[in-house]
Amino acid sequence: MTRYRQNLVLLLIVMGLAAAISMLTRDWAHRSAVADLDRDAGYELRRAVSGLQAILAEYESLPHILAIDPRLLIALQDPNNPEVIDETNRYLESINQIGKTSDVYLMNSEGTTIAANNWRSVKSFVGNNFRYRPYFRDAMEGRTGRYFALGTTSDIRGFYFSFPVSDDDVIVGVVVVKISLSDVEQQWASPWGQNSFEVMVTDQYGVVFISTRAEWRFRHTRPLTPAQELVLDLERRYSDKELKPITYQNAEAPTQLLGTGARFVTVGTDPGNEQTYLEREADMPEAGWQVKLLMPLDRVKQEVSNVLLLSLSMFLVIVLLVMLLLERYRRERAMKHAQEQLEERVEHRTKDLSEANIRLQNEVQERKRTETALKQTQDELVQAAKLALLGQLSAGINHELNQPLTALRSYAQNAQAFIDRQLHDKAQMNLQEIVHLIDHMASIIGQLKVFSRKESESLGAIHVGACITAALKITESEIRRHRIELIMNVNEQDVLVLADMVRLEQVLINLITNAVQAIAEMVESEGEAALDGSRRLSIKVIENTDQVLIQVQDSGPGISDEALSHLFEPFFTTKKQSQGLGLGLSISHRIVESMGGSLTARNVPGEGAVFIVTLRKADVQEEREESADSKPDMWMTK
Ligand code: ADP
């Protein structure tokens, strides 16, 4: 199912649930609100009834107490005595004030008021006859009278208590206490305008006498019969007030919601504009009243909508919470899925990498094998080159040694002949020549030793200056003999190169010897005097960042162009046979290269030739203890 469809289904479910919840909640909230209303109505009704009862109880005994006062009897016995009546009026006036009653008055047996608290007022009861009132009749019959009515004179609604005034068991008059009922209405009414409940007190005929709603007063809740109308007229209970009807009937509401004693009623003075109330009523037989407590149903509606709003809000919160949790769960699941995928990918990659690693290792091994094979091939090639060189060398040696051997033979034969002829001096000379030739041959053979040396001899850091000094020690006699000026630009200790001390010495000896021979040759050809003072041999050490250059420069004739191109080839020489074999530079070149360096040569204009040995610079750590007694191999004597 797609996410969109899932959400749609979820939305439908939520809406369905919301509808169900609102239905259930509405029903439940309605029941609960009605039950609350019913409970409140019962409570308010009890309060209203007990309030009324308390008022009645408070004043009930007052006429009885007044009736036994002799002053009232005196007034009844002497009604025409103004002083007595005046005193009685004042007495009743003070009683009314103290008792906070509405009126207190005294009637004679005819029902005419002879004294009253309001004797000063224009609406005074004095002189008025109230015999038609039931409370008068009751008192005249010896009973306590209780009655409520609208005052005919005062137009004030009141409750009347009466009691007979007797003179030796003969009832001669009636004392009446009237209390106002408008205060209780004010007590029930809400100080903030609209009442939270309404109270209605009706008489036995259903006429509203007391009510929190002024417009309901003096209306009959049910139709009055002619007989009832007659009674009310006779008693003048409601004075001259016209009694109008009020709608008061059972409402079309589900009564099953209510407990016993309550009902829904529709009340209203204007037809079509009635309001529905929950009604609870109680009888007050001591006053002949029926008290109705009316709770407006608006409160129910309000409560239902409140509960509905609350429950729907809660439901919405729960739905949001559930959606939140669901989303979180979804997201966690997606993350877990992504993580699993990632792990899988990583695993895959790792596998690929380890495979690649194995492949690489194999390749490295293969390379190593190839390298070994190559090295082997190279070694073989070198070996072959060596053999070729050996062949070349052998040819050269053959050539070089043949002549001296032939000469040796001749000298030896000649020496024999000279000895036979007793020419010892000549024989001696020949023998000297033979020794000389043998020395020459030994020197040729001695040079070949370099080929037997291993090239891979270990190199070390050696002091260039020390090496040059050692080479000069061997060559200095020759330099001095030819009166050559030696110019040195060497720091003996400082510069270290990576080389083999003995072999570097051999190279330097060769270069110095060549230089000396070149200068000597020039002297020979140009004459001693010509070159006096300008025979120079200069040895200079130049230090670069990672290289060291040793320059051996002479003031000789320089190298011819032809010689420059063959300089490092074996057996190339321009010298006489006795002076050189042409192996020195070729061997030197080979030695320097084997030490990782190079040997080059060039002419210096105005001077002779310069030979430059370039070597790798060495660190102090690489300095190798050279054996103190190791001497350069004397492979070359020129
Ligand atoms: P040899 O000295 O036995 O001839 P080398 O290999 O040492 O053999 O030298 C080869 C040749 O290089 C020499 O015969 C000479 O012609 C030339 N040569 C070497 N050194 C110098 C130099 N300093 N000045 C001029 N020519 C030189």
What structural domains does the chain harbor?
A: 183-299 (3.30.450.20), 456-637 (3.30.565.10)
Q: Establish how many alpha carbons lie within 13 A of residue 546's alpha carbon, considering only the half-sphere containing its beta carbon.
A: 2
Give the nearest ligand 1 atom to 581 CA: 3
Tokens 């020549």, located at residue: 433
Bridge partners (DSSP) listed for residue 198? 294
According to DSSP, residue 623 is labeled: B
Q: Establish how many alpha carbons lie within 13 A of residue 634's alpha carbon, considering only the half-sphere containing its beta carbon.
A: 7
Question: Is the minimum distance from the CB of 128 to ligand 1 under 6 angstroms?
Answer: no
pLDDT digits (tens, 9 = 90+) for 117-130: 999 998 899 999 99
Asked whether residue 631 carries a pLDDT value surpassing 90, the answer given is no
Q: What distances in angstroms separate CA 509 from CA 270, 340, 585, 602, 637, one per listed residue?
A: 147, 76, 11, 18, 10
Q: What is the pTM of this model?
A: 0.49
Least confident of 183-187, 255-259, 423-427, 555-559: 255-259
Question: Is the minimum distance from the CB of 588 to ligand 1 under 6 angstroms?
Answer: no
pLDDT digits (tens, 9 = 90+) for 168-221: 889 999 999 999 887 788 878 776 667 789 999 999 999 999 999 989 999 999
Please tell me whether residue 610 adopts helix, strand or coil conformation: strand
DSSP 115-170: EETTTTSTT--TT-B-TTSHHHHHHHTTS-EEEEEE-TTT--EEEEEEEEEEETTE
| pLDDT confidence of residue 453 | 52
Alpha carbon of 514 to ligand 1 centroid (Å) = 6
Q: Cα separation of 262 and 50, whole Å? A: 19
Residue of 575, 579, 637 to mutate, ligand 1, most atoms within 8 A of C-beta:
575
Give the nearest ligand 1 atom to 611 CA: 23
pLDDT digits (tens, 9 = 90+) for 606-626: 889 999 999 999 876 555 444
Question: Is the minimum distance from the CB of 515 to ligand 1 under 6 angstroms?
Answer: yes
pLDDT digits (tens, 9 = 90+) for 423-469: 899 999 989 989 988 887 886 676 666 555 545 556 889 999 989 98
Q: Cα separation of 312 and 182, whole Å? A: 46
- CA dihedral defined by 398, 404, 407, 412, rounded to 10 degrees? -110
For atom 20 of ligand 1, the residue with the nearest CA is 514
According to DSSP, residue 221 is labeled: S
pLDDT digits (tens, 9 = 90+) for 364-396: 999 999 888 887 876 676 566 556 666 666 766
Token representation of residue 512: 């110095």
